[in-house]
Structure 1
Amino acid sequence: MDDFRSRMKASGKYDVFICMGDLFDKWAVPYSVVFQASWTFFKAARDNPKTRYFILGGNHDISKDLEKKGALDLFELVVGNLPNVTIIRHAGHFTDIGGDRVGLFPYHPTKPAGELVTEKIDIAFGHWDTMFGEGNLVPTKELAAAGCEVAYTGHVHLPDEFTRDGVKVVQVGSMQ
């Protein structure tokens, strides 16, 4: 939590801050954990209104049973109404950042990752597997067809880079 607070405090140095998924380590965590994370994030976003914050739902944030509500849902109730915060679950989100068309892709428990790529984009941020992962493998063919040259994934814990189908894939590694 100390590391998280430190990173959130520093987030105002950036125009855009993207949480690449797995904000929580399970979809159901103690309320105290949700409260601490929500309050820390809320303060950072409130204190840095010019920074745009995006939070991707990760495989640990979202239950495979889409009817169940969990930590990310409670988190969204606290921070989701801030004008500079966007929480992304269940569908791709498309926006312009620094002159680039950007796609932001959460983990989806029932749809293949490639189905979420529905627009032309320059850069992609997602919560994808890179080696295996039925349905959640980084959709390089679909990204290449959408014009994307670089894709960042937050799912894989160790940093790495490789190119597949003409798309450079960057594993940013997990915060911990």
Structure 2
Amino acid sequence: MQHPQLPGVVLLGDPHLGKAFKTGTPPHRMGDRDKIQFDTFKQSLLTIPDNTHLHVCMGDLFDRPHVPESLVLRVYRTYKQACAGHPDTTFVLIEGNHDASRDASKASSFDVLAHLLDGIPNMVVVQTDPQIVASAGQEYLFVPWVLGKDAEEVVAHLPSGCPFAAVFGHWDLDNFKGAEDLNVLPYETLSKVTDVVVTGHIHIAENRTYGDMLVIGTGSMLPCSHAEDPLEELYVTRSRKTVLAALEEKPDVYFNHHLRVELEPHEDPLAGIDCLSLTHKRVAAEGLEDVTTQVDDFDLKTIFFDVMAEEGVTPDLTDELWKQL
């Protein structure tokens, strides 16, 4: 994404690569959402506008500290290709809270990636300490998430009197945990050194102001739940009646969506819909029940196919074994 306040800067919201998308996923669609996730990430790096001088990944590149080595290698190759194809663009990668290892004695996948990327001239990986990057005649400040450090502490020793064109980080916009929340955006401190702050971490895009300072929350690269997708880009909720009518008109209408079906007390769950995932939620007389367990979680066939996939059993053999049960 680009913001009018930051011409020539491409912002990539938290990608969360390596996130497991399994709940309600039909066996034959396993891996499809993972592919969408990586393809979107790859497109952001390789198809930037010609005038781009900065590309910034706002943190949480990975969904957890340790992801498969094959994924780390794919990400490395993508960044290497992007840097080589756009030598006039500086690519910045900020470490987020999902990227960092909680055990200082163990390297994370992000640590390994940072080591692989070291030495590429137009690649900057931001870990441990804030970094200043000069680009297009201006200076930008990049602030990582640091385990065990208060956000104020991380930016406590910024140079004064030299305003930055923008400051980028990985913060909460609001204090949700009281004194325990160490990651609240340091509004007052940053307002003294910049007029524009960009943050990842929050999952739904949001802009706000603090005095004269604009705060841009990028949101995640793609929504990862119904709660994170108010525009229904990927996650849709429909009544059973609406779903059946839509399928009658276009059988593949939900092919690239995570579908949640609202069921009246007397209605049965649906099955066999070709979608990224299918879940159900009961509607009580007074409204939606607040339940987290989906009807589909107890589908024996789905559980069987999920376990076989996790153990590396091929789809053909899994199907044959299922038929023998």
TM-score by length of 2: 0.51
Displacement after TM superposition at 1:5 (Å): 1.5
Q: Tell me, what secondary structure is at the counterpart of 2:114?
A: helix
After superposition, the C-alpha distances for 1:37-66 in whole angstroms (9 at most, x for unaligned) are 111111111221111111000011112333
Indicate the residue corresponding to 2:145 in structure 1. Answer: 107
Unaligned runs of 5+ in 1: none
Radius of gyration: which is bigger?
A: 2
Indicate the residue corresponding to 1:119 in structure 2. Answer: 159
* Range moving further from structure 2, 52-61 or 99-108: 99-108
Paired residues, number: 175
Distance 1:153 1:68 in 2: 27
Indicate the residue corresponding to 1:47 in structure 2. Answer: 85
Q: RCO higher in 1 or 2 (8 Å CA, sep ≥ 6)?
A: 1
Q: 2:196 aligned with 1:150, yes or no?
A: yes
* Range moving further from structure 2, 59-68 or 101-110: 59-68
Correspondences of 1:13-162 after superposition (within 5 Å)? 13=50, 14-117=52-155, 118-120=158-160, 121-122=163-164, 123-132=166-175, 134-145=181-192, 147-162=193-208
Distance 1:17 1:3 in 2: 14
After superposition, the C-alpha distances for 1:75-116 in whole angstroms (9 at most, x for unaligned) are 112222101101001111112233333210111111111222
TM-score by length of 1: 0.91
Distance 2:48 2:109 in 1: 22
Q: 2:47 aligned with 1:10, yes or no?
A: yes
Distance 1:57 1:135 in 2: 16
Distance 1:54 1:12 in 2: 16
Q: Tell me, what secondary structure is at the counterpart of 2:41?
A: helix
Q: Tell me, what secondary structure is at the counterpart of 1:74?
A: helix
Q: Tell me, what secondary structure is at the counterpart of 1:17?
A: strand
Unaligned runs of 5+ in 2: 1-37, 223-325
- Over the aligned positions, Cα root-mean-square deviation in angstroms equals 1.6
Distance 1:166 1:67 in 2: 42
**Which aligned runs of 4 or more in structure 1 are off by greater than 3 angstroms?**
none
Amino acid at match of 2:131: H
Distance 2:152 2:212 in 1: 16
Amino acid at match of 1:124: V
CA contact (8 A) 1:20 1:126 kept: yes
CA contact (8 A) 1:12 1:48 kept: no
2:215 to 162, 169, 174: 169
